[in-house]
Amino acid sequence: MLDLNNKTSIVTGGGSGIGKAISILFAKQGSDVYILDVDEEGARATAEEINSGNGSATFIKCNVASAEDTSAAINNIVAERSTIDIIVNNAGIAHVGTIETTNESDFERLFGVNVKGMFHVAKAAIPFMKEKGGSILNMASIASTVGIPDRFAYSMTKGAVVGMTLSIAKDYLSYNIRCNCISPARVHTPFVDGFLSKNYPGREEEMFKKLSATQPIGRMGRPDEIAYLALYLCSDEASFITGCDYPIDGGFSKLNN
């Protein structure tokens, strides 16, 4: 079950958090994992951890916001592996602000990574997936469907991710390329710790508890919990699933009053 042997996977943003957990789990299940990231230190550490545990991982420094960077990375992978079986479009950045406090450079920066980044990866990789088929998994967010205060630009980009997912799923049905997305609520990653220390110095513990309590289940998610859902959706066991957005949110989107 959930065997990824002989499958080539690309995970963007695999240097930390959810992307790191996905990279480690996919390698554990037998996939050759290529980590695309601008975080050279974190991504190299993830690859080294995988390789030291008898898995297979390769780090390629890549800014997915750049079409040139992304195309070169995908071409290098295909030159080595001849095929791409799985793409996990996980790389993304966040932003705090309303439409009034979001300036144009913030807007373009968020769109460049969170939307164009996924566009660049999928556009470069799909031609190499059409012969065999495969799975594309995009990282969305519950912010795409639930109103969250001060998250205008971030929510906008994640809504675009859901729309992109549906379009790719529809257009490539005949090529056996499945495309789904995951919408997490708050997940405890290094980003959360950095956000709290930057915005709430001295109140980190208090605010962590407050943010955790917004999930009806009473805590934030863990990166490995997101990775397990990603593994299922990218495995052959999920061969009947495409064009779906999966909330994984501790009840946030349905059980909050």
- Nearest CA-CA partner of 166 in 110, 244, 227, 111: 244
Structure token pair of residue 4: 């990824």
Residue in 154, 175, 228, 246 annotated catalytic: 154
To the nearest 10 degrees (0 to 180), the angle between helices 204-213 and 190-199 is 120
What is the distance between the alpha carbons of residues 219 and 160, in angstroms, rounded to a whole number?
27
Sheet holding 32-37, edge to edge: 56-61, 32-37, 8-12, 86-89, 134-139, 177-184, 245-248
Is 200 an annotated catalytic residue? no
Q: What residue ranges in the chain does DSSP mark as E strands?
A: 8-12, 32-37, 56-61, 86-89, 134-139, 177-184, 245-248
Question: What residues contact residue 8 under an 8 Å CB cut-off, 6+ apart?
Answer: 31, 32, 34, 77, 81, 83, 84, 85, 86
Give long-range contacts, CB 8 A cutoff, 24+ apart: 102-108. Answer: 102/152, 102/153, 106/153, 107/153
What is the distance between the alpha carbons of residues 239 and 161, in angstroms, rounded to a whole number?
21
The set of catalytic residues is: 154
